[in-house]
Structure 1
């Protein structure tokens, strides 16, 4: 039997920013108030009600992948002042939102596969300490290993790890949970569980290897994952151009023929996110979309 290690933020005297830099993730407790969380939860359930069973079955391991650009009713969390101020407090010089998903694991849903989400591994800055992309995860209910909380490999955003050498993540086979015996779903002795209370926010480096436990309960476990570039103003033009492709939904993620972006939102809703939307000048060539690191380039 594998013993689950629980992340304990009280066990370290590091600041939140230093914890994020060292471990690749940090929990910010109680950032969002209960009333606001209730409204997010209601909106999430309404959005899931509109998602087809077929669409959810294709991403059974994730549970759902509802792009938030299709759901402008979440504008107030994307541009939430407390959240953006928190990102700045963690070191973000110019945080810009480039996308996000409602990722909800249904009752009885399987575990999520191990993966990391960074796509710029051709570039030398991807192997340095300064992050290029963060996730902000907002679980809408209290979340534990029993109902599918996050599990991570601390420090894997900067160092080689055996899980880097699994098959490429995000394949149809992994997302559909077609082979439950695939090692990408297995427990790992280095894993750390990150349970949260609704209202907490988890901020993590896109390079961090992570997954989620299965949901062994009889209730849905909804999560909003928001993607921010913390240093947009100093990203290379090629990285900005590739990030803009994701923001405009013109990348390798399958979308409807005419997917929505915040450019399609009403002026009132767009105003809520205007300060964190990415913009760029000119038409630089985007870097290649590469999600597999060259582990020989990690720092010793």
Structure 2
């Protein structure tokens, strides 16, 4: 369970690292099945694989979607009780797993990812971030550092909506914007907001980097940002999918979330009922503390003057 200090760090900086949250047989099974998917992706076999340009100009495997359909381990990990506790604490209201994918930098030819904010924050019309926290849960299956293309991010920029990244070069964003590398180890979990500017360099390292992404969200966030997406949102079908995930975890004889006193599966999704937790729509409250001058400067990545 997260401490109040961890919650405060997350909401202030826009990212949170939980060391060693996934381990043992659970991590080993994830790594094993991820490798099966990667073999298929590199070979161009099967569906829902994505590709990017590698440093040598060739097309290289980068990502696979719909992991829940590939092996029960991806379902079982999605409802890990420790994970759900921490998500519930950071989100502050009912939530559910909405989307999943495997993102990879293959050994020797890991493709770069340009600086960006995840949808919908690439849209200039997103002048402020939505009041309800919206973040991805990134489960690392390998070491990730600058030498093998780790994620870099701009801490604190998650509350100001769209940020104008286009007027800076990629090198300037990595080297002269206050960006930090987020270094991770196998079994660590990263929460990073959809609105947080981030990117990664190409990797020619012999060490691959695998991440199992799960996007959990509140239904009102879906209605605000993703209602036109075809992915399943909250309802009877999603509730049945979650029950299937719990069954996958039960089949492994691992703790299931409904055995926790702090996690409940309700008619609205999972809810964290312990303490400490996050006030409802807390990012709206935090965003309101930023002056218009400060927000404008942050959107343009302009160094802030004292007192703004």
Query: TM class by shorter-chain length?
Result: 0.5 to 0.7
2:149–2:203 Cα contact (<8 Å) kept: yes
| Rounded Cα–Cα distance in structure 2 between residues aligned with 1:116 and 1:203 | 14
- Larger RCO: Structure 1 or Structure 2 (Cα < 8 Å, ≥ 6 residues apart)? 1
Asked if 1:46 is matched to 2:36, the reply is yes
Q: Which deviates more, 103-112 or 151-160? A: 151-160
- Displacement of 1:217 in angstroms is 1.4
- Displacement of 1:33 in angstroms is 1.6
Partner of 2:85: 85
Partner of 1:58: 51
1:135–1:206 Cα contact (<8 Å) kept: yes
Alignment of 1:120-139 (within 5 A): 127-128=128-129, 130-139=131-140
- CA deviation vs aligned residue, 1:89-112 (integer Å, no higher than 9, x gap): 224311211102100111121321
Give the number of the structure whose alpha-carbon radius of gyration is greater: 2
Q: Which deviates more, 99-108 or 209-218? A: 209-218
Partner of 1:292: none
Partner of 2:278: none
Distance 1:161 1:115, change over 3 A: same
Distance 1:34 1:146, change over 3 A: farther
Alignment of 1:1-300 (within 5 A): 15-53=5-43, 58-60=51-53, 63-67=61-65, 68-73=67-72, 74-108=74-108, 109-119=110-120, 127-128=128-129, 130-159=131-160, 163-165=164-166, 183=170, 187-189=174-176, 190-229=178-217, 231-232=218-219, 235=220, 238-239=223-224, 242-243=226-227, 245-248=229-232, 268-269=244-245, 271-272=247-248, 275=265, 299=295
- Displacement of 1:206 in angstroms is 0.6
Partner of 2:286: none
Query: With structure 1 as the length reference, what TM-score do the two structures score?
Result: 0.66
- Displacement of 1:35 in angstroms is 2.7
* SS state at 1:222 partner: strand
| Rounded Cα–Cα distance in structure 1 between residues aligned with 2:161 and 2:76 | 37
1:96–1:277 Cα contact (<8 Å) kept: no
| Rounded Cα–Cα distance in structure 2 between residues aligned with 1:185 and 1:43 | 37
| Rounded Cα–Cα distance in structure 1 between residues aligned with 2:179 and 2:210 | 22
Q: Gaps (5+ residues) in structure 1?
A: 1-12, 168-181, 250-260, 280-295
2:52–2:62 Cα contact (<8 Å) kept: yes
| Rounded Cα–Cα distance in structure 1 between residues aligned with 2:203 and 2:120 | 28
* SS state at 1:187 partner: helix
1:120–1:239 Cα contact (<8 Å) kept: no
Q: Gaps (5+ residues) in structure 2?
A: 55-59, 250-256, 258-264, 270-291, 297-308
Distance 1:192 1:207, change over 3 A: same
- Displacement of 1:48 in angstroms is 1.1
Query: With structure 2 as the length reference, what TM-score do the two structures score?
Result: 0.64
Cα RMSD (Å) of the superposition? 4.1
